[in-house]
Structure formats: structure tokens, C-alpha cells
Amino acid sequence: MRLPRDINAQQLVTALGKLGYQVTRITGSHIRLTKIGTGGEYHITIPNHNPLRVGTLNAILKEIAVQENMSKNKLLTKLF
């Protein structure tokens, strides 16, 4: 599946909410999300940009896919 090209930070935060991520802090132009799971807490920071750059979105999704133990394509299908 192809990465969305016009997604902003708020849309990504909403999509990641489906996986249990919650906003814990907003500092300047960055949003910090936290997920509490069986392995403890996991944090991810995303820039509050409109739209997110494709490379930045790709890196964020790769990191979350590893944490969720699924492929990036499966994660994309689940989120969007």
C-alpha cells in the first residue's frame, strides 16, 4: 500500500488512537504519544506539521510497525 501524501499530524494522531496511542504532551511543534502495553510504556514523537513529509511519515510508521510486531503494509491497512 502506498503512503498517504497529504496527511497532517492531527490525522495521524487520530489514526494512531485506534492502536491505543494517547497524546501525553505537546511541546512547541511536536506531539508526544504514549502507549502502555504489556512490555511497558512506548513513546513516539511526531512533528505537528501540515502535511507531514513522506520520509518523516515513513520513519514513524516503520517504528510503530516494529513496536506492534507487524509489517508496515498491514499497519497502513489498519490505520488508513
Q: Is residue 2 part of a domain?
A: no
Q: pLDDT tens for residues 21-72?
A: 999 999 999 999 999 988 899 999 999 999 999 999 999 999 999 999 999 9
Q: Is residue 41 part of a domain?
A: yes
- Number of folded domains in the chain? 1
47: Cβ contacts below 8 Å, ≥ 6 apart = 9, 29, 30, 31, 56
Angle (CA) 53-32-57 rounded to 5° is: 20
Q: Is residue 1 part of a domain?
A: no
- Alpha carbon separation from 5 to 2, 10, 11, 55, 64 (Å, rounded): 9, 14, 12, 10, 18
Q: Is residue 53 part of a domain?
A: yes
In Å, how far from its chain's centre is CA 71? Answer: 14
Cα(14)–Cα(62) distance, integer angstroms: 18
User: Looking at residue 1, what is its pLDDT?
Assistant: 83
User: Looking at residue 74, what is its pLDDT?
Assistant: 96
- Domain of residue 14, residue span: 9-79
User: Looking at residue 70, what is its pLDDT?
Assistant: 94
Return the CATH number at 66. 3.30.920.30
